[in-house]
A = this chain, B = another copy of it.
Amino acid sequence: MFLNASLLSRAGAAGLLFFVAVFGLHAQPVDPLPSWNAGTAKARIVAFVQAVTETGGKDFVAPADRIAVFDNDGTLWSEQPMYFQLAFALDRVRALAPRHPEWKTKQPFKAAIEGDMKTLAAAGERGLLELVAASHAGLTTDEFAAVVKDWLASARHPKFQRPYAELTFAPMVELLAYLRANGFQTWIVSGGGIEFMRVFAEQAYGVPPQQMVGSSLELKYELRNGQPVLVQQPKVAFIDDKAGKPVGIHKAIGRRPIAAFGNSDGDFQMLEWTTSAPGARLGVLVHHDDAEREYAYDRKSPFGRLDRGLDEASARGWTLVSMKDDWKQVYAPGR
């Protein structure tokens, strides 16, 4: 099978990618989502993708507008027994504690050092960001990335005893690739820190650093030994959660997504923003109902609470994914 090169040249980048993607699918009529069991969730996702990519169809969406946004914690990887970035921050605070005697009496540092999870959970996303902010102030972006990389290489998840970066959801990684093969741009839009995610997310998900939106600290440009660096400041610049997610999406992308994937009420406004616009839209919530292979939690969890989303998903036309029933496997086998 051959393609005419000058035709390719004229088609332009986006059209070309789309052409190759469609060609690829026709050449390999295999299930693009093998980790998903047949069922409503899978059928709805596939029907949506077929609808927006069908040239001449009533729901066709040009490739440039095929923006899909994904929450990270609890949607692309696990978030129990605590956000992985919180586990990282706690390890970091404990390591730095000897240099900061004042942390012994100051929250949320006291709780971090003592492992007081109840107090930490109550501190929420902002508490986590405070821990990150204070424990990382003064590090350059390069230094911070190196610290995260070391931690990811050495730390192990308490339940699964595997490196955290292996605890990404195989069905979601497939879904990301499936969307990209259909001309979508896939973005991560997470309450987690953007600098933290950028260390592992490109390798884990195939999403490049410029397609990530996250919470962030203020950065300061300065010269160290004559070389410019960006230094993390002990001040939160942006919290990419709840109503902050549509704001973060608009600032970074400038286009309204047509598909949004989340798992908690922190993703509610992102799904609302995505699915309220006219045309074919897809809103998906991953429901953690699999105590055996992962965790079972929703309305009462301190991390990844899903309450309003459960109540309103059906009326809003959002698809609820049952981890237990819809996923053939949760994690890829250990390496």
Chain A residues in the interface with B (C-beta under 8 A): 1-6, 8-9, 13, 16-17, 20, 23-24, 27, 64, 141, 180, 185, 194, 198, 208-212, 216, 219-221, 227-228, 230, 243-244, 246-247, 250-255, 269, 272-273, 276
Q: Smallest distance from the beta carbon of A101 to chain B beta carbons, Å?
A: 32
Cβ contacts under 8 Å, A244 to chain B: 221
B residues near A211, Cβ cutoff 8 Å: 210
Closest B residue by C-beta to A195: B254
Cβ–Cβ < 8 Å partners of A255 in chain B: 209-210
B1 & A27 in contact (Cβ 8 Å cutoff):
no
Instruction: Report the separation of the CA atoms of residues A185 and B185 in the bound assembly, to the nearest whole angstrom.
Output: 15
Point out the residues of chain B lying under 8 angstroms from A9, CB to CB. 20, 23-24, 27
Given A198-B254, A210-B255, A251-B194, decide whether A243 and B227 contact each other with a Cβ distance below 8 A.
no
Give Cα distance in the complex from A270 to B253, angstroms.
Answer: 22
* B221 and A254 contacting across the interface, CB-CB below 8 Å: no
Which B residues lie within 8 Å of A64 (CB)?
A: 208
Instruction: Assess the B27–A8 pair: CB atoms within 8 A.
Output: no
> Separation in Å of the A83 CB from the closest CB of chain B?
21
A3 close to B1 (CB less than 8 A): no
In whole angstroms, what is the CA distance A250 to B208 when docked? 13
Tell me, in angstroms, the Cα distance from A3 to B8 when the chains sit together.
Answer: 10
Specify which of B2, B6, B185 is in contact with A4 (CB 8 Å cutoff). B2
Copies in the complex: 2
How distant is A144 from chain B, measured CB to nearest CB, in Å? 12
Q: How far is the CA of A221 from the CA of B194 in the complex (A)?
A: 21
B2 adjacent to A219 (CB under 8 Å) = no
Q: Are B16 and A5 in contact (CB under 8 A)?
A: no
B210 touches A252 (CB 8 A): yes
In the complex, are the beta carbons of B250 and A219 less than 8 A apart?
yes
Q: A17-B17, A221-B273 are in contact. List 9 more A-B contacts (CB 8 A).
A: A1-B5, A3-B8, A5-B27, A208-B254, A209-B253, A210-B211, A227-B276, A230-B247, A252-B252
Instruction: Kindly provide the distance from the CB of A37 to the nearest chain B CB, expressed in whole angstroms.
Output: 28
By the criterion CB–CB under 8 Å, are A27 and B6 in contact? Answer: yes
Given contacts A2-B2, A24-B9, A269-B228, contact A254 B216 (CB under 8 A): no
Q: Is the CB of B228 within 8 A of A273?
A: yes
Given A2-B3, A4-B2, A228-B269: A251 in contact with B27 (beta carbons within 8 A): no
Counting chain B CB atoms within 10 Å of each CB, which of A1, A141, A210, A276 scores highest?
A210
Residue of B nearest to A145 (CB): B254
A220 — which chain B residues lie within 8 A by C-beta? Answer: 243, 247
Tell me how far the C-beta of A220 lies from the nearest C-beta in chain B, rounded to whole angstroms: 8
CA–CA, A276 and B269, complex, Å? 41
* A228→B9 CA distance, assembly (Å): 40
Structural contact, A250 and B141, CB atoms closer than 8 A: yes
